[in-house]
């Protein structure tokens, strides 16, 4: 059977299983029992209604009820029965992929009485999640000192502010919006930003994840967006940091607005949201001499329509869009900033989502989506790039005083995704979920990039030709997956097993050229292109296992083990191998469509215990090993200070990394006034490489290529985090986030000339540590009453780096912060104070 035939069979099987279209990670299940308060007996036939959705069910003869396929969020429930007092339960949280269990007790009465209203509190321990997971509601996101939703990752234990999760690279995290990825599949990173007011919540998986989720080695972040209802809601916010004098501002202006409600009551609902971030960046004092405000512009929009075809069938249409345009700032170019090219990245996603409940025991959800990302660098066409115009440096080879950056790019990626998921609890004590996904990519990249050769110490080698990274390619790879997951309740009171199996594949649909080198002199080579080998069809089966069990009366023990799989970034597969690129000669770095997927095995064991005052203490041990990570291997190695044509580099699989550590957390997630979290993480993150380009640059600098295990550049051995929120709903809210971590590694390799190391100097990667990091962020809100029964007007104060600490971001090989030029980027950004106003209707 051909590969395409196998894929068609896989999709057909999915359709047959679902009998319709089916998206995971956005809905949950509500279930429970209804009993008589006096006798304790089950009440059959009691009505259960989700007020805002006008959907419900009745209890069985055993007094049980189940409502499938509830979108994540918070709901009001009404329980009624003839002869019993009406019971209203508010603030019931539904989390994606999880079950919310309730025990409802009704009071018998012979006369009509006012209804009983109770506010539901979230469970202190989520017992049906076997790995470390954080659930953050939309309300929590809106009161924290963050600008973009994904920034919440850095607030949680085991993570860094840059997005590393438990020692992995930021690119090892899969970011999802309503179960669908928003990744840049060419070069990595998140390509879309959503207004915070468009979210209902977020799930962050740091200790492992179930078979439903894939293409990630370290973590999953899944955002769930809002849906409209019969009530009209309007939100607006505006803030700026320009009201504070001096230089402690970025001339930033933030705007956000959203609205939701019915277009046709009970049938058709809408949500629209938009946000804008306009600023001059932290470098505005220099950049204002060259560019008009704003130097960085980020506009984001979100829209959704939900149509209720029947009470059990919903159809949704979703659009999200981001447009980010900016000017780079590099300190050596500060006297020539207008010769750095402008950059712009746009993304748009259109998704059709169908969801249907199949009786009391099953539902399916699904999506058909198109995701487009375009990245551009430079104005005009690539013919305007000055490929033969090397930069002009000052006498000390420090500042670039003339010349234009030889950089231009136009890269486009279109991803078409079909996804099916089915959830069933038809078998007693089992929650079964299975599904398939198929992705068709259309990728185009045209890059012109030349860089001057430099020593390891950053000095340009002006008499050497520039390094050519130019590339042009167009490919259409495919990927897909299938999974099955079963959560088994072994005992009625809490023992749970989670068993999963996932299959992933990648068809690169490209050939790998063989490049041969011939000696053309003492230090120079010529290259010729030989036969081609087709990139192999890659696939893997990944088991997942988890367990949870009660220990004593108030404690729970959890265990999780998983094998994980991630496709390499497509730029690593295709750059420099297109016929057009090869026609110009060998690119400095050449892609490899036969790269193996990156793989990891991770496990953790944790224990949680409920203390007085609704405090929960937890301790976790985790360990992860990653293999097949991507690096570059240089062929025809040589010293860049001597060789005229030293060779080229190709992406290969070789590096190894290992991470392990402990997390201690004390949290209070519910409380009338004060909630928060205090954590300490001890972690070791070591490996043979931290970047896919490490091998290339080490060889270019003429350094020994070695494969010594060393601390990775984000190796934070000791990390303390404290987050607290003090809130009075009608008056004020104060959120404070504190972080301290021990110094990160850097490579100490001193030089006195910028060309050679000091006598006796030896190169060992990341052999020294920078100073420790400390930071405090706060957000304070004051609520002012508004007449006519409207929601309060809110004035907020958002301060980042409250104490204006000079935290070190990087040091050169001599241990100088910011290097020889004392570049201000050697420090993280200083204090920034935002003042703003927001209103809800």
Give the residues across from 398 on adjacent strands. Answer: none
CATH of the domain at 698: 2.40.170.20
Beta strand pairing call for 27-36 and 99-106: parallel
203 assigned to some structural domain:
yes
Domain check: are 216 and 253 in the same one?
yes
Structural domain span for residue 416: 133-527+537-840
Q: How confident is the model at residue 67 (pLDDT cuts 50, 70, 90)?
A: confident
Domain check: are 33 and 154 in the same one?
no
244 assigned to some structural domain:
yes
**Is pLDDT above 90 for 830?**
yes
**Is pLDDT above 60 for 6?**
no
Lowest-confidence region among 227-241, 549-563, 611-625, 683-697: 683-697
CATH of the domain at 70: 2.60.40.1120
Domain check: are 783 and 822 in the same one?
yes
pLDDT at 690: 79
**Is pLDDT above 90 for 346?**
yes
532 assigned to some structural domain:
no
pLDDT tens digit sequence for 612-630: 989 999 999 999 999 988 8
Conformational region of residue 760, where left means phi above 0, alpha means psi within -120 to 50, and beta covers everything else: left
Q: How confident is the model at residue 647 (pLDDT cuts 50, 70, 90)?
A: low
Domain check: are 185 and 68 in the same one?
no
pLDDT at 221: 92
pLDDT at 86: 86
For residues 219 and 201, what is the distance between their CA atoms, to the nearest angstrom?
17
505 assigned to some structural domain:
yes
Instruction: Decide: helix, strand or coil at residue 664.
Output: strand
pLDDT at 110: 73
pLDDT at 582: 53
Q: What mean pLDDT comes out for the span 276-281? A: 95
Instruction: Decide: helix, strand or coil at residue 443.
Output: strand
Domain check: are 708 and 624 in the same one?
yes
699 assigned to some structural domain:
yes
662 assigned to some structural domain:
yes
What element of type H or E holds 761? none
DSSP label at 591? -
- Cβ atoms within 10 A of the Cβ of 224, count? 26
How far from chain centre, in Å, is Cα 133?
A: 14
For residues 564 and 561, what is the distance between their CA atoms, to the nearest angstrom?
10
Please calculate the CA angle 520-526-530 and round it to the nearest 5 degrees: 135
Domain check: are 657 and 746 in the same one?
yes
**Is pLDDT above 60 for 529?**
no
Q: Is 527 exposed, middle or buried (0-12, 13-18, 19+ CB in 10 A)?
A: middle
pLDDT at 212: 92
Domain check: are 590 and 451 in the same one?
yes
For residues 357 and 66, what is the distance between their CA atoms, to the nearest angstrom?
11
For residues 278 and 237, what is the distance between their CA atoms, to the nearest angstrom?
14
Of 119, 145, 160, the residue at which a domain comes to its end is 119
454 assigned to some structural domain:
yes
Instruction: Decide: helix, strand or coil at residue 694.
Output: helix
DSSP label at 752? S
Of 71, 87, 119, the residue at which a domain comes to its end is 119
Highest mean pLDDT among 503-512, 551-560, 726-735, 772-781: 772-781
* Higher pLDDT pick, 655 / 677: 677
What element of type H or E holds 695? helix 694-700
**Is pLDDT above 60 for 521?**
no
Domain check: are 835 and 803 in the same one?
yes
Domain check: are 67 and 195 in the same one?
no
**Is pLDDT above 80 for 87?**
yes
Percent residues over pLDDT 90 in the chain: 48
Beta strand pairing call for 732-741 and 718-728: antiparallel
Of 119, 149, 182, the residue at which a domain comes to its end is 119
Q: Which of 568, 576, 571 is nearest to 629 (CA)?
A: 568
For residues 355 and 53, what is the distance between their CA atoms, to the nearest angstrom?
14
Beta strand pairing call for 362-377 and 342-358: antiparallel
Q: What mean pLDDT comes out for the span 278-299? A: 94
For residues 602 and 168, what is the distance between their CA atoms, to the nearest angstrom?
11
Domain count, the chain: 2
Q: Which of 668, 746, 652 is nearest to 705 (CA)?
A: 652
pLDDT tens digit sequence for 307-337: 999 888 999 999 999 999 999 999 999 999 9
pLDDT averaged over the chain?
86
Q: Which residues contact 472 (CB under 8 A, 6 or more apart)?
A: 445, 446, 447, 578, 580, 581
Q: How confident is the model at residue 812 (pLDDT cuts 50, 70, 90)?
A: very high
247 assigned to some structural domain:
yes
Distance of CA 721 to CAs 125, 701, 718, Å?
20, 39, 10
For residues 478 and 480, what is the distance between their CA atoms, to the nearest angstrom?
7
The string of DSSP letters for 724-751 reads: EEEEETTTEEEEEEEEEEPPPEE----B
Domain check: are 11 and 53 in the same one?
yes
For residues 593 and 767, what is the distance between their CA atoms, to the nearest angstrom?
34
pLDDT at 464: 78
pLDDT tens digit sequence for 670-721: 877 899 999 999 999 999 877 888 777 777 777 765 567 889 999 999 999 9
Q: What mean pLDDT comes out for the span 143-154? A: 88
DSSP E strands, 206-244: 219-225, 233-240
Domain check: are 73 and 188 in the same one?
no
Helical segments of 548-601, H only:
570-574, 579-583
8 Å CB contact between 336 and 400: yes
pLDDT tens digit sequence for 8-18: 334 333 333 33
pLDDT tens digit sequence for 759-798: 767 788 899 999 999 999 999 999 988 776 677 899 999 9
Highest mean pLDDT among 104-118, 465-479, 644-658: 465-479
For residues 230 and 267, what is the distance between their CA atoms, to the nearest angstrom?
9
For residues 329 and 319, what is the distance between their CA atoms, to the nearest angstrom?
32
Domain check: are 358 and 451 in the same one?
yes
8 Å CB contact between 355 and 316: yes
pLDDT at 841: 82
């Amino acid at each position: 059977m051909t590969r395409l035939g196998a894929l068609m069979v896989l999709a057909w099987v999915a359709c047959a299983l679902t009998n319709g279209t089916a998206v995971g990670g956005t809905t949950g299940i509500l279930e429970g029992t209804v009993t008589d308060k006096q006798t304790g007996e089950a009440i059959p036939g009691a009505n259960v209604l989700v007020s805002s959705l006008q959907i419900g069910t009745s209890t069985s003869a055993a007094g049980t009820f189940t409502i499938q396929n509830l979108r994540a969020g918070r709901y009001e429930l009404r329980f009624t029965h003839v002869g019993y007092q009406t019971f209203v339960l508010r603030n019931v949280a539904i989390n994606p992929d999880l079950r919310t269990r309730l025990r409802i007790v009704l009071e018998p009465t012979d006369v009509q009485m006012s209804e009983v209203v109770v506010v539901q509190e979230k469970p202190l321990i989520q017992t049906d999640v076997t790995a470390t997971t954080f659930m953050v509601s939309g309300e929590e996101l809106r009161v924290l000192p963050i600008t973009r939703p994904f920034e919440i990752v850095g607030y949680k234990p085991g993570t860094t502010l840059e997005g590393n999760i438990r020692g992995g690279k930021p690119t090892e995290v899969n970011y999802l919006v309503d179960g669908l990825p928003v990744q840049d599949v060419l070069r990595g990173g998140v390509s879309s930003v959503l207004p915070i007011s468009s979210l209902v919540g977020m799930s962050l998986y740091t200790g492992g994840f179930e078979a439903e989720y894939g293409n990630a080695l370290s973590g999953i972040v899944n955002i769930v967006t809002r849906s409209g209802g019969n009530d009209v809601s309007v939100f607006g916010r505006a803030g700026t940091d320009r009201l504070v004098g001096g230089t402690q501002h970025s001339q930033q202006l933030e705007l956000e607005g959203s609205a939701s409600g019915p277009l046709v009551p009970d049938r058709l609902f809408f949500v629209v949201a938009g946000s804008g971030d306009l600023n001059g960046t932290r470098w505005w004092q220099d950049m204002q001499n060259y560019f008009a405000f704003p130097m960085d512009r980020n506009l984001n929009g979100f829209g959704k329509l939900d149509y209720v075809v029947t009470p059990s069938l919903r159809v949704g249409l979703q659009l999200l869009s981001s447009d980010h345009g900016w000017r780079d700032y590099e300190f050596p170019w500060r006297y020539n900033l207008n010769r750095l090219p402008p950059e712009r990245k746009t993304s748009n996603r259109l998704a059709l989502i169908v969801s249907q409940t199949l009786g009391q025991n099953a539902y399916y959800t699904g999506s058909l989506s198109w995701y487009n990302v375009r990245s551009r660098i430079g104005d005009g066409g690539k013919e305007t790039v000055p490929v033969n115009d090397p930069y002009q440096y000052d006498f000390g080879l420090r500042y670039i005083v003339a010349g234009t950056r030889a950089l231009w790019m136009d890269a486009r990626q279109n991803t078409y995704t079909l996804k099916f998921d089915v959830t069933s609890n038809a078998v007693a004590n089992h929650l079964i979920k299975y599904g398939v996904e198929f992705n068709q990519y259309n990728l185009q990249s045209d890059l012109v990039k030349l860089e001057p050769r430099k020593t390891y110490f950053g000095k340009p080698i002006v008499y050497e030709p520039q390094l050519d990274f130019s590339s042009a390619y167009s490919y259409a790879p495919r990927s897909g997956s299938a999974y099955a997951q079963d959560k088994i309740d072994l005992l009625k009171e809490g023992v749970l097993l989670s068993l999963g199996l996932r299959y992933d594949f990648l068809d690169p649909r490209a050939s790998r050229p063989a490049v041969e080198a011939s000696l053309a002199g003492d230090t120079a080579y010529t290259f010729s292109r030989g036969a081609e080998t087709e990139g192999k069809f890659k696939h893997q089966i990944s088991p997942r296992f988890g367990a949870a069990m009660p220990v004593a009366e108030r404690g729970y023990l959890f265990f999780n083990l998983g094998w994980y799989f991630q496709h390499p970034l497509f730029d690593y597969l295709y750059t420099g191998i297109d016929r057009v690129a090869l026609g110009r000669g060998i690119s400095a770095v050449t892609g490899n469509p036969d790269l193996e997927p990156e793989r990891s095995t991770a496990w953790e064991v944790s224990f949680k215990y409920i203390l007085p005052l609704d405090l929960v203490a937890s301790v976790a041990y985790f360990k992860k090993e990653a293999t097949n990570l991507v690096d570059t291997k240089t062929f025809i190695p040589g010293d860049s200070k001597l060789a005229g044509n030293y060779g080229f580099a190709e992406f290969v699989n070789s590096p190894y990394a290992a991470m392990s550590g402990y997390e201690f957390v004390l949290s209070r997630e519910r409380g009338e006034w004060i909630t928060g979290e205090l954590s300490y993480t001890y972690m070791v993150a070591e490996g043979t490489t931290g970047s896919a380009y490490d091998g290339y640059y080490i060889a270019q600098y003429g350094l020994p290529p070695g494969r010594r295990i060393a601390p990775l550049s984000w190796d934070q051995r000791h990390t303390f985090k404290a987050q607290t929120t003090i809130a009075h709903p009608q008056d004020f809210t104060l959120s404070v986030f504190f972080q301290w971590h021990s110094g990160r590694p850097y490579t100490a390799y001193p030089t006195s000339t910028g060309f050679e190391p000091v006598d006796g100097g030896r190169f060992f990667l990341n052999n020294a540590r920078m100073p420790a990091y400390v930071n405090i962020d706060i957000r304070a809100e004051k609520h002012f009453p508004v007449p006519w029964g409207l929601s309060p007007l809110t004035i907020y104060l958002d301060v980042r780096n409250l104490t204006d600490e000079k935290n070190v971001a990087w040091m050169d090989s001599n241990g100088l912060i910011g290097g020889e030029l004392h570049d201000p980027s050697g420090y993280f950004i200083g204090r920034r104070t935002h003042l703003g106003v927001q209103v809800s209707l």
